[in-house]
Amino acid sequence: MTARMDATPASSDPRAVGRWLLVVAAVIALTVVVGGLTRLTESGLSIVEWRPITGVLPPLSAAAWEQAFAQYKASPEYLQVNAGMSMAAFQAIYWMEWGHRLLARAVGMIFLIPFLCFLVRSRIPSRFVAPLVVVFVLGGLQGALGWYMVQSGLVDRPDVSHYRLAAHLGLAVAIYGYVVALALELLWPRRSGRADPLLTALAGWIFIVLLSGALVAGLDAGFLHNTFPLMDGRWIPEGLSLLSPWILNLLENPTGVQFLHRLLAAVTVALIVALWWWRRPTTTPMGRRALDGLLLMVVVQAALGIATLLLVVPISLAVTHQAGAVALLTMALVARHVAPR
């Protein structure tokens, strides 16, 4: 999507709107990271109901805590994994999930209230109004998708569907990327009017790699084959062809899912190195800085992924690795915007 600032009403304030969108993007990124922490601490199934409005308040009395705990005790996670859990332990995971949901609600308010204020005062350039309405609608769908994901862990098995987890994370990151792209267009409009197609494709590729990482997390595949670069001494690991048709091994077999994520990550490093080598000499000074940042970030992200694997998924490293994926996508979007063809 493109925008020409000279075609906007005199009352519009593109830079103020752009700065607001950067704040929205930052809170979305924080929500994504907290969501990863919620997953890693196995807190996501502690709240077994979805109350979009009244759920903003946590239990405020001993009786309310007992009721929430009783609801959790009827869930598969308590019955199959956490039987005998104390109230204190339940409260710890409850607060984590409640905090994640509160952040998600905060994103909605941080978006909606300023949006309406800007809209009433005609501060938003006209061609950005429809995209921002789309952002709000997608945000509402994201909340519903989050509950759809949680529901999959409340029926028979004490774990959410890894497909629904990937969809929930994917939509959050897609909204984040869209908001960042809009903010960049408002703050630094491109003279060419169109983003670099190669860097656009790279951002899409990074998004796909991020989704494969969600499948790894959803299947706990990071706890297998904790060696690098070989997978337990083999380039092609044993157990890669357990499912039929074979393609399911890359989607539902933990060994295959980890193998795919490793492969996609290696290709990502190679793509960014090649693009940096090819494009850096011919771009602008700002474009060179963006490409340098992209190269640095992919090296950091690869190192974080390897360390997370070798150390068998410590929570701090795993959360940092997820944050690194968002940072890498951000750098790709920035490079896409400021590095001319």
Exposure of 9 in the CB half-sphere (CA atoms within 13 A): 12
Q: Are residues 254 and 338 in the same domain?
A: yes
pLDDT-derived band at 233 (thresholds 50, 70, 90) equals very high
Structural domain of residue 8, as residue ranges? 1-189
User: At which of 166, 189, 212 does a domain end?
Assistant: 189
Q: Are residues 14 and 114 in the same domain?
A: yes
pLDDT at residue 155 in the model = 87
Query: Residue 189 above 90 pLDDT?
Result: no
Structurally, how many domains does the chain consist of?
A: 2
Exposure of 325 in the CB half-sphere (CA atoms within 13 A): 29
Q: Are residues 211 and 339 in the same domain?
A: yes
pLDDT-derived band at 132 (thresholds 50, 70, 90) equals very high
pLDDT at residue 126 in the model = 93
Q: Are residues 181 and 217 in the same domain?
A: no
Whether the CB-CB separation of 232 and 225 falls below 8 Å is answered with yes
Rounded (10°) angle between helices 162-187 and 315-338: 40
Query: Residue 154 above 80 pLDDT?
Result: yes
Q: Are residues 167 and 27 in the same domain?
A: yes
Q: Are residues 164 and 246 in the same domain?
A: no
pLDDT-derived band at 1 (thresholds 50, 70, 90) equals very low
- Rounded to whole angstroms, what are the CA distances from 72 to 46, 94, 100, 275? 6, 10, 18, 50
User: At which of 174, 189, 204 does a domain end?
Assistant: 189
User: At which of 153, 171, 189 does a domain end?
Assistant: 189
Q: Are residues 254 and 177 in the same domain?
A: no
Q: What is the largest CA-CA distance in the chain?
A: 67
For residues 40-60, give the mean pLDDT.
91
Sign of CA dihedral 150, 153, 158, 161: negative
Q: Are residues 159 and 205 in the same domain?
A: no
For residues 194-201, give the mean pLDDT.
86
Residue-wise pLDDT tens digits, 156-168 = 888 899 999 999 9
pLDDT-derived band at 194 (thresholds 50, 70, 90) equals confident
Query: Residue 273 above 90 pLDDT?
Result: yes
pLDDT at residue 196 in the model = 80
Q: Are residues 170 and 213 in the same domain?
A: no
Q: Are residues 184 and 200 in the same domain?
A: no
pLDDT-derived band at 147 (thresholds 50, 70, 90) equals very high
Proportion of the chain above pLDDT 90, given as a percent:
87
